[in-house]
Amino acid sequence: MSDDHGLVEMQPTPGQKLAAIFKQREVRVATAWGVLVTFIFFIIGGWIYPSWMPIAMSTDMKSIERLIVIFTWISAPICGIVLGFSIYTFLHRHKGDTPPVDGPGIRTNGLVVGLWVIVSSALCLVAIVYGLIEMNSASAATAEHKKNALVVEVTGSQWAWSFNYPEQGVVSHELNLPINRPVEFRIISVDVNHSFWPVQLGVKVDANRLQTTVVDTTPNKLGTLDVKCAELCGLYHAYMETSGEVMSAADFNAWVTSHQGGHTA
């Protein structure tokens, strides 16, 4: 890479080449910009972006928040490299109405290309492995939940959600759930595709016509739930939303008792 040593006969090792690259002033300044950018993305990803997300009311939602943070942290150095070097060259731009003189005729640099491929593959691998581990623990949790799950049959129709609790004999348009008990949603649509999205629980699955889809989670925090439709389903898609509550077991039982047999909201 460095033209200064073009006449030296001895072939430097890749390590020496790399060290020589980092001795150049322009590389150091660009790297400094990169470190600053990395730091900014680190802060945004770790604290600012999650603060916009709703309160996590299940372990699934908690792990999504964590995953988003960690992915931003993995990406922050990439942003640092790309933007650091971009900023450096932008600040050293050529001014004037005529083209600048030719720069160095660098065609390629095997070391840099190789390093780039290795590092980006490694980061990609980390993301893949981390995602697979999270998926695996989610499905392990699903197997665990099967035993004592509260079953809720969710029906999407244009443009409302309804929830049937078969064991309790309750039908409702509000999604009320007891805290700390696994819940298994069985979702179906009577017309077009909808997508069942209890926002704070961090799960989502489409409601398909005549095809039951299943998703489970365990609410672990008391509070209000927003239930939305995440698949365009026609005229009043935007209004196909309802609310619900994660409540204590006693409150849930009381709610069940007061609604049994009736088709009240």
Partner 1 sequence: MTTLDHHTSVRPVPNPSKSLITKLNMGTGLVVGIFFAVATYYGLGGDSAGVFENYNRTLLATMFMWSIGFMVGIGAFIGPFRWLIGKDLTDEEQLYLAGDGQGIKRYFKYCTDHKVVGIQYMVGVMVLLGVGGTMAMMIRTNLIQPGSKFVGPSIYNSLVGLHGITMIIAMIIVVTGPFGNYIMPIMIGAADMAFPRLNALSWWVLFTAIPVLCSAWFLGGIPTGWTAYAPLSVQAGPGMNAFIATIIIFAVSTAVAGANITATVVAMRAKGMKWNRVPIFVVGATMSVALAIPAFPTFMVSMIMTGLDRSYATTFFDANLGGSGWLYAHLFWIMGHPEVYVILIPGVAVLMEIAPVFVRKPLFSYNAAIAGFAGITGLSVLVWAHHMYMSGWMPMLNGPFMVTTEMISVPTGLIFLVILGTLWRGRPWLKLPMLGVYAFLWNFLIGGITGLYLSDVPADNYLHGSMYVTAHFHYTLMGAALTGALAGLAYWFPKMTGRMLHERAGYISFWLVQIGFQFLFLGMFIAGAEGQPRRVADYSINFATSDLISSVGAYMIGVGMIVLLWAVIHSWRHGKIAPMNPWGSKTLEWTVPYPVPLVNFDTPPVVTSDPYGYGKASN
Stretch 21-60 residues interacting with partner 1 (CB under 8 A): 26, 49, 52-54, 60
Task: Pick between residue 64 and residue 149 the one whose CB is nearest to partner 1.
Answer: 64
Q: Given its phi and psi angles, is residue 223 left (phi above 0), alpha (psi -120 to 50 degrees) or beta?
A: left
Task: Pick between residue 174 and residue 241 the one whose CB is nearest to partner 1.
Answer: 241
Minimum distance from residue 193 beta carbon to partner 1 (Å): 6
Contacts of 183 (CB under 8 A, 6+ apart): 145, 149, 150, 151, 152, 177, 216, 217, 218, 219
Token pair recorded at residue 142: 């699903």
Q: Which stretch binds partner 1 (CB under 8 A): 147-155, 226-234, 246-254, 255-263?
A: 226-234
Minimum distance from residue 153 beta carbon to partner 1 (Å): 15
Query: Which residues partner with 219 through β-bridges?
Result: 58
Give me the sign of the Cα torsion angle 73, 75, 81, 82: negative
Using rule CB under 8 A, residue 174 touches partner 1 = no
Minimum distance from residue 42 beta carbon to partner 1 (Å): 13
Amino acid, single-letter form, for residue 92: H
Q: How many residues bind partner 1 (CB under 8 A)?
A: 86
Measure the CA–CA gap between 108 and 79, rounded to whole angstroms. 22
Contacts of 242 (CB under 8 A, 6+ apart): 160, 161, 173, 174, 175, 227
Q: Which residues in 183-212 contact partner 1 (CB under 8 A)? A: 187, 191-193, 195, 197, 199, 202-206, 208-211
Q: Which residues in 53-92 contact partner 1 (CB under 8 A)? A: 53-54, 60-61, 63-64, 67-68, 71-72, 75, 78-79, 81-83, 85-86, 89-90, 92
